[in-house]
Amino acid sequence: MPGCRKSLSSTCPVRKGLRRGNASEPPDCSAQCRGREIEASEVTEKAVSQVKTGTDRIVVHPADGEVSGSVRIPGSKSITNRAIALAVLSTGTSRITNPLFSDDTERGLAAAQTLGCKVLVRDDEVEITGIGRQRPVPRATIDVGSAGTIARFLPCILAFGESGEWHLTASAQMTKRPIDGLGAALNQLGDPLEYIENPGRYPITVRGGRIRKSVAHVDGSVSSQYLSGLLLAAPRNATPIRITTDGAVVQSEYVRMTIDCMRRFGARVEASDDLSRIDVEPVEYRATTFDVEADASTATYFAALPAVAGGAIELTNLARASRQPDIQFVEILAAFGCVTEWTGDVGVRIRRPQGLTRLRGGHRFDLNACSDVALTVAALSVFADAPVEITGIEHVRHHECDRIDAMTEVLRAVGARVQERPDGWLIEPATVRRAEVRTRDDHRMAMASALIGIGGSGISLDHPDCVAKTCPTFFELLSGLGLPSDRTAAVG
């Protein structure tokens, strides 16, 4: 059975320098990593760049027949990052099972270690001994790389604690992404955050021991991560914290997921239905054992395979009652004409009926609440029998890249007619052709574009290793399902 196996790209001595997702089976590093305490210095920009420059392009071939098989989806990136943050803020040792090991989560583990946490990595689990409000390392420079979630959570963790000063740097990609909404909210509570170069962007300096007020207003129109970051850290304040919003929070289910995770660690949180008011009581987070469910966003790329190639696939560990908003993609597949069958509380089977020659189009999808599926839905839309309209996703222009513009470029390159709009697209059916396209070093662009190649005439992608952000073995998994790809080595 294919499955995303643990990838410790920067921390594992066996996998240093190994190309991510190489079609050959990577060596099993579990014996060398088991029980080994990682060093924060091991996760460096140099180590990450070494694995990201090993290959130049990957050619994903069209499906040669219907797809058939099952996939165990890796752990949720969003939930893993929340669990790491909560473990750092707790007193005692927390155990996180089934975590995602990827570029983003490794940045979080490295930050925890830098701040003085003991981090122990074992097979399919991580133990973190938290520091609560204490700051045993009161001064440090921490590089968050391109990890957007960590980039929004870490300043809050540092601000709600003892005195100290930390310089936070980021990749060139991350420095283009806004954090001004987070900075404005934090600085309403005191003056913990300072921009070093450009207002509202990384790099930043964060100072602890400066939270003096108890009410902050958060702009949730750009990223729900601003609100989630404040919520995660707020229980460690000495007095209650009230957070308000305008009630219009993008991907608001991620905030509710944050509150669920906080309660697992002992937080006392009361929130209005529209998240316009959230009250957080001061508590001592208690260490716990936390199991990470499958990543619903990553699941979309594999769930979509029968839609573009025919056949059937089973996702063995996807939770039907998941809080993750991208679980709605199963319903979207049904709207396109696929048959979806839950096998119980966990596990779903998707198949494309034999008589469905083209997917059913004519839809208008408002994907504001689950915008991470937008690129996948756009990829499917070119295989529909009528135009598909996608709306409500203007905020994804501020993700790893301008995702609306990026997907417009890909769709036009493969021969689709698409109207780009401020908050989405109108995509018309097309007979797609093979093309060389840019992923813009965006993991979701790479995986969604691969679907177009599989259902069409193949596709050539640059920056294939960007998938390491969420599913390092994405192309290996495709190969295991009979969907091969070929890599082209970089020249020079």
186 and 117 together in one domain: yes
DSSP letters spanning 309-377: H-EEEEEEEEETT-S-GGGGHHHHHHHTT-EEEE-SSEEEEEEE-TT-SSB----EEE-GGGGGGHHHH
276 is in an annotated binding site: no
DSSP letters spanning 254-283: HHHHHHHHHHHTT--EEE-TTSSEEEE---
257 and 405 together in one domain: no
Q: Which of 291, 316, 345 lies at the terminal end of a domain, its last residue?
A: 291
> Which CATH number covers residue 161?
3.65.10.10
399 is in an annotated binding site: yes
Instruction: Count structural domains, the chain.
Output: 2
464 and 351 together in one domain: yes
469 is in an annotated binding site: yes
- Quick count: other Cβ atoms within 10 Å of Cβ 75? 26
Flag whether 134 is in a domain: yes
153 and 171 together in one domain: yes
Residues 6+ positions from 376 with CB-CB distance below 8 Å? 300, 301, 304, 329, 444, 447, 448, 451
225 is in an annotated binding site: yes
Flag whether 2 is in a domain: no
82 is in an annotated binding site: yes
Return the pLDDT at 40. Answer: 33
200 is in an annotated binding site: no
Residue 101 — φ and ψ, nearest 5°?
Answer: -105, 110
Return the pLDDT at 490. Answer: 60
Q: What is the DSSP letter of 145?
A: T
Q: What tens digit of pLDDT does each residue of 303-316 get? A: 999 999 999 999 99
Residue 271 — φ and ψ, nearest 5°?
Answer: -130, 140
178 and 193 together in one domain: yes
User: Do residues 113 and 38 touch, judged by C-beta distance below 8 A?
Assistant: yes
Flag whether 21 is in a domain: no
Catalytic residue set = 372
Flag whether 18 is in a domain: no
pLDDT at 150 over 60: yes
Q: Which residues pair with 280 in a beta bridge?
A: 241, 269
Q: What tens digit of pLDDT does each residue of 37-71 get? A: 333 333 333 333 333 444 589 999 999 999 999 99
Q: Which of 269, 291, 313 lies at the terminal end of a domain, its last residue?
A: 291
What burial class does residue 380 get, using C-beta atoms within 10 Å of its C-beta: 0-12 exposed, 13-18 middle, 19+ buried?
A: buried
85 and 66 together in one domain: no
Which pTM does this prediction carry? 0.86
157 and 42 together in one domain: no
Flag whether 190 is in a domain: yes
* Domain that residue 348 falls in: 30-74+293-489
Q: What tens digit of pLDDT does each residue of 390-446 get? A: 999 999 999 999 999 999 999 999 999 999 999 999 999 999 999 999 999 999 999
